[in-house]
């Protein structure tokens, strides 16, 4: 297991080195940087989703609820009280956590799981969207633009997308490290166990409700903070940040990438969202909607040939000799 971890760490370092140089290559075109940042935002969200959806096996479809809460908290504090988003993003994460606890406590208390958990969390995004549409003091149907100070580091207003890219990259590294740390700890084993069979886990001493709540807290905090950065990148907040279909997409990325595999969701985000954004940018003008067709074909291929996730493609290759051994032993 130790060796596997250091192997993963090497992969992470390799990824980081490449990612650090991306702005040097594409830096001349701000639009490209924004596209790549968007891909990484999905990477952060899917990686965070992996804690509750991959490890704990809860089909959570509310990721953009926490993103929106983080965005609105930080932006409102910025617009109304001139509070710097550097503090606002932490508060945004905390508000997302508070909301997650408020929702998670009754959900897990009454053992809502499976499809019912998925339906409840989907509804959550829509409910928040309506609430923020009506709540004129904070949201309302009109976009609220953040104050613009050109090149102000103090207020996270950079005037270029490159610093935002590095901020999101930082969030991604944090999300990956949190994921990997949880996966190799007591909480991770408990989450995996209750994801497979909650009753069996409970008689082995797993407090299912407490473990699921802790997973939800990590997930909500990471996405809440990302939400605050998200609103700064785009420079405004709007109730459409509570985006149901995109929340489902985050879950799809987590599943397609490989549930419970630390770097799986990131891989899926790079591949699928990357392909989608690239195709939309390159084909969008000529054949509108074609990018969706190609995106779907990639999705179907993955589900057909790698149902346990894209990441298993690399795992299986590393493990091939071991698998043959398994077969031999079974015959004996």
Partner 1 sequence: MLSEQILKTSKLTKRFGNLIAVNQVDIEIKKEEIIGLIGPNGAGKTTFFNLITGLEAPDEGQVIFKGTNITAMSPHTICKLGMSRTFQVAKSFTEMSVEDAIRVGAYNRRGEEEVQNKVDWVLKFFELEDIRDFKCSDLGLSSLRKVEVARAAATEPELLLLDEVGAGLTATELLKLMSELKRLNQETKITLCIVEHVMQMVMGLCERIFVLDAGELIAKGIPSEISNNQRVIEAYLGRGRYSEPSSTG
From 131, 197, 288, 300, residue interacting with partner 1 (rule: CB under 8 A): 197
What is the C-alpha separation between 149 and 160, in angstroms, rounded? 12
State yes or no: residue 318 binds partner 1 (CB under 8 A). no
Angle at 269 between CA 35 and CA 116, to 5 degrees: 125
The sign of the CA dihedral 114, 52, 104, 111 is: positive
- Does residue 322 belong to the site contacting partner 1 (CB under 8 A)? yes
Interaction between residue 206 and partner 1 (CB under 8 A)? yes
109 binds partner 1 (CB under 8 A): no
Cα distance between residue 95 and residue 118, in whole Å: 22
CB nearer partner 1, residue 202 or residue 246: 202
Closest CA to 115 of 59, 64, 62, 65: 59
* Residue 202 sits in the site that holds partner 1 (CB under 8 A): yes
Residue 6 engages partner 1 in binding (rule: CB under 8 A): no
| Minimum CB distance to partner 1, residue 207 (Å) | 5
Q: In the complex with partner 1, which residue's Cβ is closer, 207 or 288?
A: 207
Residue 324 binds partner 1 (CB under 8 A) = no
Q: How far is the CB of 98 from partner 1 (least distance, A)?
A: 25
Shortest CA distance to 172 belongs to which of 236, 51, 263, 100? 263
Subset of 157-196 contacting partner 1 (CB under 8 A) = 185-186, 189-190, 192-193, 196
Q: Which residues lie across from 237 on neighbouring strands? A: 144
Residue 147 carries which DSSP code?
Answer: P
- Contact between 269 and 43 under an 8 Å Cβ cutoff? The reply is yes
Binding site for partner 1 (CB under 8 A): 185-186, 189-190, 192-193, 196-197, 199-208, 260, 322, 326, 329-330
């Amino acid at each position: 297991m130790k060796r596997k971890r250091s192997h993963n760490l090497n992969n992470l370092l390799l990824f980081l080195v490449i990612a650090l140089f991306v702005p040097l290559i594409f830096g001349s075109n701000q639009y490209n940087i924004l596209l790549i940042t968007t891909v990484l935002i999905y990477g952060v969200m899917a990686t965070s989703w992996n804690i509750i959806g991959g490890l704990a096996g809860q089909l959570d479809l509310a990721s953009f609820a926490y993103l929106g809460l983080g965005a609105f908290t930080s932006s409102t504090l910025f617009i109304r009280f001139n509070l710097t988003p550097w503090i606002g993003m932490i508060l945004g994460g905390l508000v997302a956590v508070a909301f997650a606890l408020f929702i998670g406590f009754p959900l897990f208390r009454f053992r809502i799981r499976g499809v019912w958990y998925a339906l409840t969390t989907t509804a959550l995004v829509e409910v928040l969207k309506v609430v923020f549409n009506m709540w004129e003091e904070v949201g309302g149907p009109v976009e609220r633009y953040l104050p613009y100070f050109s090149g102000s580091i103090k207020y996270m207003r950079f005037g270029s997308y490159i610093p935002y890219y590095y901020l999101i990259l930082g969030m991604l590294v944090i999300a990956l490290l949190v994921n990997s740390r949880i996966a190799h700890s007591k909480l991770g084993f408990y989450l995996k166990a209750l994801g497979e069979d909650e009753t069996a886990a409970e008689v082995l001493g797993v407090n299912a409700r407490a473990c699921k709540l802790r997973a939800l807290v990590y997930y909500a905090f990471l996405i809440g903070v990302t939400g605050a950065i998200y609103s700064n990148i785009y420079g405004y907040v709007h109730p459409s940040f509570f985006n149901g279909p995109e929340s489902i997409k985050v879950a799809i990325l987590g599943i397609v990438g490989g549930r419970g595999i630390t770097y799986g969701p990131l891989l899926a985000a790079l591949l699928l969202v990357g392909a989608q954004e690239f195709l939309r940018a390159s084909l969008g003008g000529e054949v509108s909607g074609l990018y969706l067709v190609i995106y779907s074909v990639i999705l179907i291929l993955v589900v057909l040939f790698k149902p346990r996730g894209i990441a298993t493609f690399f795992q299986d290759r590393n493990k091939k000799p071991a698998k043959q051994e398994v077969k031999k032993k079974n015959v004996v």
